[in-house]
């Protein structure tokens, strides 16, 4: 008790007071069973350490590392303690490594490489994996033996009935011959159906699942009680989930040294945990008992989380990439790589009928693992190994079926969609993976494998003979897949293929052009750093644009933002032309009547040009002709007032479109005040108002908007003033030189600058 109290006090000291869980109400018998299941799941899942207020998790982890927590975890695991202490030690290691803290990783790596610690440390994990595999083998053997015994008894009963029916239907006098009549054929078909139902019943009994398919008679209460309960995982197997999570975090963020260390410790006794993890996946999926094609018999709701964790750990072993671990997984003599391929290609029933979200997550992790095995490979060895037992057409069909499965779910959930974000999850809690995302990962896998297989490359190109649904899915995947080329540290160029999220479609063209033209280069001439600083604003704009689709009027105004800007600038130019030509307006009340005919001719010609060939230039010509007619009808001053009013209105609409595009009012006041683009257009609107109600010469300031309209001029100014500090220092140096020259000139050349003056002129100057 004293040790537990000390432990709790240390947790409160370093991690803060955990939030209190709400107590369940007494007397609620209906909700007792789900609450017990939730408590069991919470006990199985690793607890997330909560930091103290204003203390980030990384700081708490580093503080615990300085106090020796990392060494404590390694030493406790090396002691091979009891299961409870081992679990607590692994959970503490997970809490320290959460987020892939490089300080903790480095500390543990240093501890393991000193002395003979690595051999003792990895032997414990190696033994745990072997014990888990042995437990799974014995459990699966018993389950399959029961299934075989029950199936044999069922087959014997069915065979006895068939023989009886056969003897009754055989004509007398026919010895050793069988006459297949219509009645006998119907009886044989009936027997085949009963046999299929019996097999389905046996499989569901082994898996602990109820038969939902039609054709089976409902079980009586006595038979329900006699049915075995759904098998739970043994403690030796359950411990593997935190162990695999710990190993995953140990090499998180592509820690190459620890990735290699998990495979080879360079000791007398080497423990290859990469191979053992693959063997564990091979074992839990039933490959050791010959059930490679019957994954649904071995994967259920109780062990699917463990299978997912195994796939995620194997993925982390390979990412970075670590070519040695990739080869270790792809070229292993077990059926591990075939298991991973089967998880992607095959249906996992009966789990998929009840929990499709779990199956989708499983396929998603399996496809990511296959991509990690092929990451940054210059050869085709691993790709050929994956393609060895894979049908290209089946792989493409799986990706296309996932796309249409997501469309069907979207139609069903259309009434529940709020239009903001992808909040739909497979389990209904908003956390699951969507089928379209899984299909997109499989499509990228096809794209990578197509470089090594011509048949697969041809299947990815939709042609006239392709199915309509297949062509639609492939077109969607192709339009939402992009690639970039990166240069690694060894100066090798690599192509990275990635999916483009659907929310990126809501990014406006104006924003794309602006980011492309205004992103600054760093000292190395790269725009990457400045681009990543803008990603948060871009993502917020995407979410706002998606929400903006629900406001048609504001969306229409915002969609034509560039049009409003162009119209406002053209009006400013026309107003300044009028001001420059006719200011002041007192002496020019009206235009020369001889220009009336010319204005009519220009209006008719420009109108014909707009009707026959609508172009921006013809629209500008028509506008100028109309303004000339207004000047001849109304006069200069009223025309200027009218144009100024229209300019203020257009500038206001333009400002509203900017606010609507960026979602400015949805942000904080400080963010609004720091938005330079918004402040700039507010100032332009103020200048338009001053020109209308104040003095017409204020309109001249609007011509400076040409810098905002033309990116070329803006880039020229930026290139000239890029090194502002050097320009200022050069100007200061020039002032210093002028000052020194003036001093030298005053001291040594003062007499040379004396000039003769007329004394009489000086006398005549009034005092």
Q: How many CB atoms lie within 10 A of CB 170?
A: 15
pLDDT at 228: 46
Write down the pLDDT at residue 764.
Answer: 66
For 302-333, b/e burial (b = at least 16 CB within 10 A) is ebbbbbbbbbbbbbbbbbbbbebbbbbbbebe
Contacts of 681 (CB under 8 A, 6+ apart): 651, 654, 655, 658
Q: SS3 for 489? A: coil
Count the neighbouring beta carbons within 10 Å of the beta carbon of residue 456.
21
**pLDDT-derived band at 246, boundaries 50, 70, 90:** very high
- The structure tokens listed for 304 are 């699917």
How confident is the model at residue 259, as a pLDDT? Answer: 94
Alpha carbon 576 to chain centroid, angstroms: 50
Read off the DSSP letter of residue 220: P
| Residue 590 to residue 637: CA distance in whole angstroms | 9
User: E strands of 310-424, at which residues?
Assistant: none
In angstroms, the CA 263 to CA 274 distance is: 6
Q: How far is CA 546 from the centre of its chain?
A: 17
Number of Cβ atoms within 10 Å of the Cβ of 595: 14
Residue in this structure with the two tokens 């003769």, named with its chain if needed:
756
Structure tokens at 604: 């008719």
What pLDDT shows up at residue 396? Answer: 92
How does 641-650 read in b/e, with b if 16+ C-beta sit within 10 Å? eebbeebbeb
Taking the CA atoms of residue 13, residue 16, residue 17 and residue 21 in that order, the dihedral angle to the nearest 10 degrees is: -140
- What token pair was written down for 614? 């609508």
The percentage of the chain sitting over the pLDDT mark of 70, rounded to a whole number, equals 73
The pLDDT tens digits for 454-497 are 999 998 987 765 678 888 999 999 999 999 888 877 788 888 89
Residue 359 in contact with residue 431, Cβ under 8 Å? Answer: no
This prediction's pTM: 0.67
pLDDT by residue (tens digit) across 696-716?
A: 888 888 888 887 777 778 777
DSSP one-letter string for 130-191: HHHHHHHHHHHHHHHHHHHHHHHHHHHHHHHHHHHHHHHHSPTT--S-----HHHHHHHHHH
Q: Report helix, strand or coil for 478.
A: helix
């Amino acid at each position: 008790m004293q040790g537990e109290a000390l432990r709790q006090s240390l947790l409160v000291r370093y991690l803060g007071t955990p939030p209190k869980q709400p107590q369940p109400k007494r007397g609620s018998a209906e909700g007792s069973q789900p609450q017990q299941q939730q408590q069991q799941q919470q006990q199985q899942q690793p607890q997330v350490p909560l930091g103290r207020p204003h203390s980030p998790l990384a700081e708490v982890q580093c503080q615990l590392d300085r106090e020796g927590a990392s060494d404590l975890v390694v030493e406790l695991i090396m002691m091979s303690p009891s299961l409870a202490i081992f679990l607590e030690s692994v959970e503490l290691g997970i809490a320290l490594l959460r987020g892939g803290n490089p300080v903790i990783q480095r500390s543990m790596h240093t501890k393991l490489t000193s002395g003979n610690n690595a051999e003792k440390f990895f032997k414990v994990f190696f033994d745990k994996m072997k014990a888990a595999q042995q437990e799974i083998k014995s459990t699966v053997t018993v389950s399959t033996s029961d299934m075989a015994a029950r199936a044999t008894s069922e087959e014997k009963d069915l065979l006895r009935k068939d023989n009886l029916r056969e003897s009754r239907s055989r004509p007398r006098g026919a010895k050793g011959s069988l006459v297949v009549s219509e009645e006998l054929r119907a009886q044989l078909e009936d027997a085949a159906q009963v046999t299929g139902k019996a097999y389905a019943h046996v499989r569901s009994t082994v898996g602990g699942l109820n038969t939902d398919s039609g054709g089976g008679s409902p079980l009586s209460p006595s038979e329900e009680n006699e049915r075995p309960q759904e098998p739970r995982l043994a403690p030796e197997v359950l411990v593997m989930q935190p162990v695999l999570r710990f190993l995953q975090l140990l090499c998180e963020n592509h820690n190459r040294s620890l990735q290699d260390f998990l495979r080879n410790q360079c000791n007398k006794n080497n423990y290859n945990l990469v191979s053992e993890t693959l063997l564990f996946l091979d074992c839990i999926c039933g490959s050791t008992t010959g059930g490679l094609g019957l994954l649904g018999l071995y994967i259920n709701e109780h062990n699917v989380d463990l299978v997912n964790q195994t796939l995620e750990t194997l993925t982390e072993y390979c990412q970075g990439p670590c070519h040695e671990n990739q080869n270790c997984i792809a070229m292993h003599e077990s059926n591990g790589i075939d298991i991973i391929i089967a998880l992607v290609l095959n249906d996992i029933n009966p789990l998929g009928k009840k929990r499709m979200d779990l199956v989708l997550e499983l396929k998603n992790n399996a496809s990511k693992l296959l991509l990690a095995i092929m990451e940054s490979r210059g050869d085709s060895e691993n790709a050929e190994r994956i393609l060895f037992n894979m049908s290209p057409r089946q792989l493409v069909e799986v990706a296309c079926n996932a796309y249409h499965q997501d469309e069907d779910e979207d139609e069903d959930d259309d009434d529940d969609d709020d239009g903001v974000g992808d909040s739909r999850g497979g389990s209904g809690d908003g956390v699951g993976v969507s089928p379209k995302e899984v299909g997109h990962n499989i499509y990228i896998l096809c794209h990578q494998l197509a470089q090594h297989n011509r048949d697969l490359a041809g299947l990815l190109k939709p042609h006239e003979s392709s199915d309509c649904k297949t062509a639609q899915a492939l077109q969607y995947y192709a339009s939402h897949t992009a690639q970039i080329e990166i240069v690694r540290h060894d100066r090798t160029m690599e192509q990275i293929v990635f999916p483009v999220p659907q929310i990126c479609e809501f990014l406006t063209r104006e924003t794309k052009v602006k980011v492309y033209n205004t992103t600054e280069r760093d000292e190395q001439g790269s725009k990457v750093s400045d681009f990543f600083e803008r990603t948060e604003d871009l993502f917020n704009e995407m979410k706002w644009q998606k929400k903006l689709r629900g406001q048609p009027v504001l969306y229409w105004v915002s969609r034509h933002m560039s049009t409003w800007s162009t119209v406002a600038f053209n009006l400013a130019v026309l107003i300044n032309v009028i001001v420059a030509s006719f200011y002041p307006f007192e002496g020019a009340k009206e235009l020369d009547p001889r220009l009336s005919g010319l204005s009519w001719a220009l209006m008719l010609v420009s109108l014909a040009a707009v009707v026959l060939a609508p172009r921006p230039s013809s629209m500008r010509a028509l506008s100028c002709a109309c303004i000339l007619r207004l000047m001849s009808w109304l006069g200069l001053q009223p025309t200027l007032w009218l144009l100024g009013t229209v300019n203020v209105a257009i500038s206001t609409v333009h400002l509203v479109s900017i606010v609507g595009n960026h979602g400015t009012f949805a942000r904080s006041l400080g963010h609004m005040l720091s938005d330079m683009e918004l402040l700039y257009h507010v100032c332009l609107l103020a200048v338009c108002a001053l020109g209308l109600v104040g003095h017409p010469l204020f309109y001249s300031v609007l011509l400076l908007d040409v810098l905002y309209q033309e990116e070329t001029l803006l880039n020229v100014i930026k290139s000239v003033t890029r090194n502002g500090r050097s320009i200022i220092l050069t100007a200061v140096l020039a002032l210093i030189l002028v000052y020194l020259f003036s001093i030298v000139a005053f001291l040594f050349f003062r007499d040379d600058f004396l000039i003769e003056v007329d004394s009489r002129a000086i006398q005549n100057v009034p005092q």
